[in-house]
Amino acid sequence: MKVQWPYDLRKGERYSFENGVHTLKVYSNDKPHSKESHTRPRTEVRIAGYDYSSGVWQFEGHGFVPSGTSGVCIMQVFGASEHASTLMVRVYGGNLAIYRSKVLPDIYDRWFRLNVIHNVDDGEVKVYVDRSLVYKGPDHGGKSHYFKFGVYAQNDDSRLMESRWKGIKILRKKS
């Protein structure tokens, strides 16, 4: 796993891994993850070694978003044809959203199980929360993908954004 955090800070100021839990924080006025980047502030984990371009791939993890965190991407499938990502799972005002479309209310202050299944060959993405399908839609194409989780500031972001993660798994369906 590769961690990205604001370039002017020490990793430990925004990321920790204790007792099996990843805790990731970022402030709306933090710097991006590199001096060259023009993106918004983030503290994210990129799951390295599992880049893919075909087949069926799944991200599974248990997430927790403290109340007050808003305007933030907490998980993404990176890589697409005309966009940077195939999917962004975001939080706005306690609601879980796919990009800006609300898919589940009341996500704050509780552990939830998130499963994201990307069928590259069929061009489809499914999102499950606590084993219930909350989203099914087309992907955005692209030739290379990978999974990320954490906090990545989006529009209407709160001053402090935080997410916690445990039990992260990457699965691939054998052909």
The dihedrals phi and psi of 126, each to the nearest 5 degrees, come to -125, 140
Mean pLDDT value of segment 77-85: 88
Residues 6+ apart with CB under 8 A from 159: 27, 28, 29
pLDDT tens-digit readout, 151-160: 999 999 999 9
Span 23-70, pLDDT tens digits: 999 999 999 999 999 999 999 999 989 999 999 999 999 999 999 999
Report how far residue 19's alpha carbon sits from residue 32's, in angstroms, rounded to the nearest whole number.
Answer: 28
Per-residue pLDDT at 174: 79
Residues 6+ apart with CB under 8 A from 94: 67, 70, 105, 106, 107, 108
Q: Give 101-155 pLDDT, tens digit per residue.
A: 999 999 999 999 999 999 999 999 999 999 999 999 999 988 899 999 999 999 9
Cα separation, 31 vs 40, in Å, equals 8
CB 115 within 8 A of CB 87: no
Question: Three-class SS of residue 11?
Answer: helix
pLDDT for the residue 117: 98
In this prediction, residue 175 has a pLDDT band, given cuts at 50, 70 and 90, of low
Overall pTM surpassing 0.85 (yes/no) = yes
Spacing of C-alpha 105 from chain mean position: 18
